[in-house]
A and B are shown apart, each in its own frame.
Chain A
Amino acid sequence: MKNTALTEKHIALGAKMVPFAGYNMPVQYEGVKAEHDCVRNAVGVFDVSHMGEFKLKGAKALDLIQSVTSNDASKMVNGQAQYSCLPNNEGGIVDDLLVYKVNDQEYYLVVNASNIEKDWNWISKHNTFGVEMTNQSEATSLLAVQGPKAAAALQSLTDVNLADMKYYTFTVGTFAGVPNVVISATGYTGAGGFELYFDNEHANHIWDAIFKAGAAYGIKPIGLAARDTLRLEMGFCLYGNDINDTTSPIEAGLGWITKFTKEFTNSANLKAQKEAGVKRKLVAFELVDKGIPRHDYEIVDAGGKKIGIVTSGTMSPSMNIAIGLGYVPTEFSAPGSEIFIAVRDKALKAKVVTLPFYKK
């Protein structure tokens, strides 16, 4: 099992460590609810250095990205980030990812930890454009500093005006005295904040600087458990749960990042699917009855017949209601539709709702 550059910090802080995507990762420190609330109301720091980072360089870097991703990267300006996915040829998704445009000849791709090797092989296989690809995953640390007080907590560490950065933009600057830190106004929590990419050798220094600067703002370390409840309250998809090799981006509600303004892997089939309509859809639901939906629980109709599957579920710490995502036949996908979740020996009533679950 691999460690991040900060594993010893997490252990010293008393984190509960779990194996995740081949890494020894902190799942919680103080407790998932306290950590969740800290990010929603103040600011928290996640070590997500297990994520993968690829650098793509060359005159045809955009051509490669356009051919393998579903979103339209030609629309990006320098310093912009874009959420996208890598469709496969069978109608599913290889991975979801962030594309960062440094300039016309240089891009970064940020991918899920569990898919680093799969994505690398997939993109390499499609690299008929002579693009120079570098896998920087092992050498790169990534801290997500998230929450409404993130900009204030970090501002003393950089000359970059953090409060003025627009969502899904980034800049490369000096942070805590370390040059060439990628400062990105992105995140997976819906709470606002930044993601910071830098070389492993600076990890301990930057971690300490962030906690010192953020102390007055109540900054805390946050584990993967709260990362999951935070992203689920927003309805953000988690690869391996809500999307995978067999789910289409159209079914998953990712039509907004699937742009038929260009050709890409399986684009003709996905376009036909979008035009014809999909048979099943990923929906958000809230439980009406008491209970908690979990990944892989069955979704049933009023008669008890299986109609789908829960892909993510939890008790929402912000709202204290049970929420989930799952695939259902399209006729059950309209907001207000009544569905049932099979929890142990019972079918609990739930209703389809619109995202996000958590509205500020």
Chain B
Amino acid sequence: MNIPANLKYTKDHEWLRVEGDIAYVGITDFAQRELGDIVFVEIETVGDSLDKETVFGTVEAVKTVSDLFMPVSGEVMEVNSAIGSNPELVNTDPYGKGWMIKVKLTNTADLAGLLSSDDYQKLVH
């Protein structure tokens, strides 16, 4: 199981890469394995300011559909257009080319509530 140490995590199996008041968000290696082959990612919240834990999109695998939750409050600045045409990037490179959204944080204090890689490791084992 790949759990990079430089990222933050949530109990909903999402990761964040924080750069100042900007964060890139995706789903973890554990999540993509649980979902199986991902065939469609639908995110239509670009430009929206969303509260922490609200739904920003959905990810559809062959057999299941799962909501995607905001790990922090913020504005959805950008969606990774590459996963629109190649949703399998979420399976093959969940922490890299399979990132999902870029968020402008509205409350950096939200970061304190996220899990470290060690905490997340414990959650999925």
Give residues of chain B (56-89) contacting chain A, Cβ–Cβ below 8 Å. 58, 60, 62-63, 65
- For B58, the chain A residues whose CB sits under 8 A away are 344
- Is B39 a contact partner of A315 (Cβ separation < 8 A)? yes
B42 interface contact, C-beta 8 A = yes
A213 interface contact, C-beta 8 A = no
- Is A291 a contact partner of B42 (Cβ separation < 8 A)? yes
Report the Cα distance A248→B42, complex, angstroms: 36
Total interface residues in chain A, CB < 8 Å: 17
- For A31, the chain B residues whose CB sits under 8 A away are 36-37
- For A292, the chain B residues whose CB sits under 8 A away are 39-40, 60, 65
- For A28, the chain B residues whose CB sits under 8 A away are 36
Give residues of chain A (46-86) contacting chain B, Cβ–Cβ below 8 Å. none
- For B42, the chain A residues whose CB sits under 8 A away are 290-291
What's the dominant secondary structure at chain B's contact region?
strand
CB closest chain-A residue, reference B87: A315
Q: Which of A32, A290, A291, A344 contacts B36 (CB 8 A)?
A: A32
- For A344, the chain B residues whose CB sits under 8 A away are 58
Report the Cα distance A27→B37, complex, angstroms: 13
A229 interface contact, C-beta 8 A = yes
- Is A229 a contact partner of B40 (Cβ separation < 8 A)? no
Give residues of chain A (290-331) contacting chain B, Cβ–Cβ below 8 Å. 290-292, 294, 314-315, 317, 320
- For B62, the chain A residues whose CB sits under 8 A away are 32-33, 225, 229, 314-315, 317
- Is B36 a contact partner of A294 (Cβ separation < 8 A)? no
Q: Number of residue pairs across A and B with beta carbons under 8 Å?
A: 35
Report the Cα distance A320→B40, complex, angstroms: 11
Q: Take A31-B36, A31-B37, A33-B37 as given contacts and tell me if A225 and B63 are in contact as well, using a CB distance cutoff of 8 Å.
A: yes
- Is A225 a contact partner of B60 (Cβ separation < 8 A)? no
Give residues of chain B (15-54) contacting chain A, Cβ–Cβ below 8 Å. 36-37, 39-40, 42
Q: Which of B36, B39, B65 contacts A225 (CB 8 A)?
A: B36
Smallest distance from the beta carbon of B96 to chain A beta carbons, Å?
19
- For B65, the chain A residues whose CB sits under 8 A away are 292, 294
Smallest distance from the beta carbon of B23 to chain A beta carbons, Å?
25
Report the Cα distance A9→B65, complex, angstroms: 29
Give residues of chain A (181-238) contacting chain B, Cβ–Cβ below 8 Å. 225, 228-229
**25 A–B contact pairs at CB < 8 A?**
A27-B63, A28-B36, A31-B36, A31-B37, A32-B37, A32-B62, A32-B63, A33-B62, A225-B36, A225-B63, A228-B63, A229-B62, A290-B40, A290-B42, A291-B40, A291-B60, A292-B39, A292-B40, A292-B60, A292-B65, A315-B39, A315-B62, A317-B62, A320-B39, A344-B58
Report the 4 A-B pairs with minimum CB-CB distance, sorted nearest first. Answer: A315-B39, A33-B37, A32-B62, A292-B60
B contact set with A: CB distance below 8 Å: 36-37, 39-40, 42, 58, 60, 62-63, 65
A292-B40, A315-B60 known; 18 new pairs, CB 8 Å cut-off, are A27-B63, A31-B36, A32-B37, A32-B63, A225-B36, A225-B62, A228-B63, A229-B62, A290-B42, A291-B42, A291-B60, A292-B60, A294-B65, A314-B63, A315-B40, A315-B62, A320-B39, A344-B58
